[in-house]
Amino acid sequence: MCAVEVKTGADRFPRETFPEDEEGRMRMRKLFRFFMPVAIFSMTILSVVSSLSAQVVINEFMADPARDWDGDGEYYYRNDEWVEILNIGETSVDLDGYMLTDAEGVGIWRYGFSGTILPGQVMIVYGSDSRAWEESSGNPVYGLSLNNTGDMISLFHVSSGDTVLIDEVTYGVSAAQDDRSAGRSPHGEREWEIFDAYNPCGGNCDPAGNGCVPTPGLVNTCTTSASPSSWGRIKKMYNG
Ligand SMILES: [Ca+2]
Ligand SMILES: [Ca+2]
Ligand SMILES: [Ca+2]
């Protein structure tokens, strides 16, 4: 079973717990770096923390791509990682201030969103988008930097003085093998599954593999490798 814990962003990260000064932020990063390997080593399941009021959630991600997922014509392990977000509400959301980070935590931003996400809309960030954003915003250029032995992906909303956790996913090694994605079930928003059509789990994944093809940039649906869709046809579908 996948343990799912739900807390509000405000409960989990009260505003005053964020150090205002650079020295304080460095101390937090060191704490993250110290505790994360221990947490990941002991973790066999993918866990999720969502704000009760979250309307925009992390929907699917791929930490260990083994092919050209961003469609630039070449495979590169940094550029071809991806993370999707989804608007599960009934109104549009202004994405200004929505930021992605990994286990490095607050302040080491991997991508800053802009524009508007419509109800039911999925938006995807590839590693190449992340690197372009990092370069243009003066951050270290690593891309999404999703660790293949386990990591954490967090979506924050940052506005004047407030840094609020919106959604967070922590994954272990079975979710981060070649061309496997992890995502919310095509049959229910809160349950997570591993989309393992290209690299079958064989019963060894937690959460379990569903035999479906990853769906970058699309609402999660299930196409199995046994279907007539070739990779070329699927990719054509992604590109509209
Ligand atoms: Ca590529
Ligand atoms: Ca990776
Ligand atoms: Ca998807």
Q: Please report where in the chains the tokens 């990260």 appear, as a residue.
A: 13
Which pLDDT score is estimated for 25? 47
Task: Please say whether the dihedral angle defined by the alpha carbons of residues 101, 29, 182 and 207, taken in this order, is positive or negative.
Answer: negative
217 C-alpha to ligand 3 centroid (Å): 5
189 C-alpha to ligand 2 centroid (Å): 25
19 C-alpha to ligand 3 centroid (Å): 35
Is residue 207 within 8 Å of 2, Cβ to Cβ?
A: yes
Is residue 46 within 8 Å of 175, Cβ to Cβ?
A: yes
234: tokens are 């699927």
Q: Which helix (H) or strand (E) holds 122?
A: strand 122-126
Which pLDDT score is estimated for 188? 65
213 C-alpha to ligand 3 centroid (Å): 10
Q: Where are the alpha helices (DSSP H) in 3-146?
A: 9-12, 22-41, 127-137
98 C-alpha to ligand 3 centroid (Å): 19
**Whole-structure pTM over 0.85, yes or no?**
no
Q: Please report where in the chains the tokens 């609402």 appear, as a residue.
A: 219
Which pLDDT score is estimated for 53? 62
pLDDT, one tens digit for every residue, the chain (240 residues): 333 232 333 333 332 233 334 444 444 454 445 444 444 433 444 555 555 568 999 999 999 999 999 999 999 999 999 999 999 999 999 999 999 999 988 989 999 999 999 999 999 999 999 999 999 999 889 999 999 999 999 999 999 889 999 999 999 999 999 999 999 998 766 789 999 999 999 999 989 999 999 999 999 999 997 554 444 555 555 554
Ligand nearest to the Cα of 220, by number: 3
Amino acid, single-letter form, for residue 134? E
125 C-alpha to ligand 3 centroid (Å): 11
Which pLDDT score is estimated for 66? 97
CATH topology of domain 4-178: Immunoglobulin-like (2.60.40)
Is residue 91 within 8 Å of 119, Cβ to Cβ?
A: yes
Which pLDDT score is estimated for 206? 87
